[in-house]
Amino acid sequence: MNETVTCRAHGRVNLIGEHTDYNGGWVLPTSIPQYTEVTLEKAPQNRVRIISTKDPKEGGKREFAYRLGEETHTDTWVDYLQGATKLLKDSGKDIEGFTAHIKSNIPEGSGLSSSAALEMSFLKALRELFQFNMTDIELALMGQRIENEFVGARVGIMDQMATSLAHSGEAIFLDTHLLSFERIALPLELVDILVINSGISHRISAADGGYNKRRAECEEACKILGIKQLRDITPEELSYKELPPVLMKRARHVVTENERVKEAVIAIQNEDMKRLGELFLHSHTSMRDDYEVSLPEIDLLVDLCAKHPDVYGARLTGGGFGGSIVVLTKKGKKNKVAEAVIPQYEKETGEKGTVLA
C-alpha cells in the first residue's frame, strides 16, 4: 500500500447551461488549465493535518488539524475536506490519519469550480492512499453530498462531474439527471475561449443564501406545475402555465437554458460559431433578467466584450453573484480582446479584471 500519493483536478468553465444541473437538466462544461493538487502522507492516531499553500501571486500558507470522527463545521474551505472524511467514514470506508499538502492556482470565488477541484483531487487521493473502490462518478456524487450535507450549499452535480471527467480541448455534454455524458470536441482551430475573472468574488454557501434561494424557488415552481424537475417541461408547455411572477422567471430561465445547451452542441458540431455566440448572449440575458444572478459589473464586462468586433458572444459563467465570464472570440484574437476590454472595465468599475484562460 502506498504511503504517499498525489492527485490533481482541473477547474472548469461552463460554456453554457447555468443553474440547470440541480433541475435535472443539461450542461456543457470544459476543463481549464488551472488546477488543484493534493499530496497525502499517512500519519498516526487518526490525526489529520492540512497544509495549503496558495498561489504564489496570492502568497501565504494555511494550516488546519482535526481528528477523524471529530469533524466540525467551520464555514471555511476546510469544510470540503472535513466533509469528505466524515462522509467516507460514515459510509464504511477505512480511512486512517494523514497529512495533506494542497496547492492550487484556481482563484477562489471565481466561478471556476475551485471547491469541486479541491473535493475531487482530495477524494481521488484518499481513494488511492487507502485503496477503496469508488468510480470517478461515485466520487463526483460524494463531492456533491459534501457540499449539500456538510458545507450547506445545495449545488448540483455539474462541477464535480466536470472536474472529475473533462479533458482539455473538449466539452462534456452532460445529462445531470441520467448522469450520462458525451465528449464534444471543441473547434479550437476556429475560435478561442477567453475566461475573464471580474475581480468580484462570489460565495455559494448557506450563509449567502442567494444560490439556495434560487434552488428553493425552482422546487416551488415544480410543485405548482406538478412535475418532478424543470427538465420535465418545455418552453412551449411552460408558456401555457400560470406561476407567480418570480417563479415564472426562474422556471423560464431553466427551461430555455436547457434548450440553449442542446442548440449549442449542434452549433459546435456544425462549426457555426456565430450561432454559438448568439446562444452565449441569450444565456447571459436570461441569467441577468430571469434568474437575477448577475451584477452590474458583470453585465458591463459582458457588454464590453460583446461590442468588440472579434467576439462572437460572452456570458456569465458559474453560479453568479460575481465570478467570471466566458468569451467566444475569433481565432487568435483573445489577447487583443482582453487588452481592449479589461482596462475599460477597470476604468468604469474600479475592479481589476484578470485573464484566467
Catalytic residues: 159
Residues with Cβ within 8 Å of residue 171, at least 6 apart in sequence: 15, 28, 29, 30, 183, 184, 186, 268
Secondary structure element (H or E) that encloses residue 160, with its range? helix 158-165
Beta-carbon neighbour count of residue 127 at 10 Å? Answer: 21
The span from the CA of 87 to the CA of 97, in Å, is 15
- Beta strand segments in 17-138, E: 26-42, 47-53, 61-67, 98-104
Eight-state DSSP code of residue 231 = G
Residue showing cell 473538449: 170
* End-to-end Cα spacing for the chain: 38
Q: Residue 61 has which C-alpha cell?
A: 500558507
Query: Helices 210-225 and 245-269 sit at what angle, rounded to 10 degrees?
Result: 100
Decide: 175 and 162 in contact? Cβ < 8 Å.
Answer: no
3-class secondary structure, 284: helix
Residue in the structure block whose three cell numbers are 488543484: 36
The three-state secondary structure class of 2 is coil
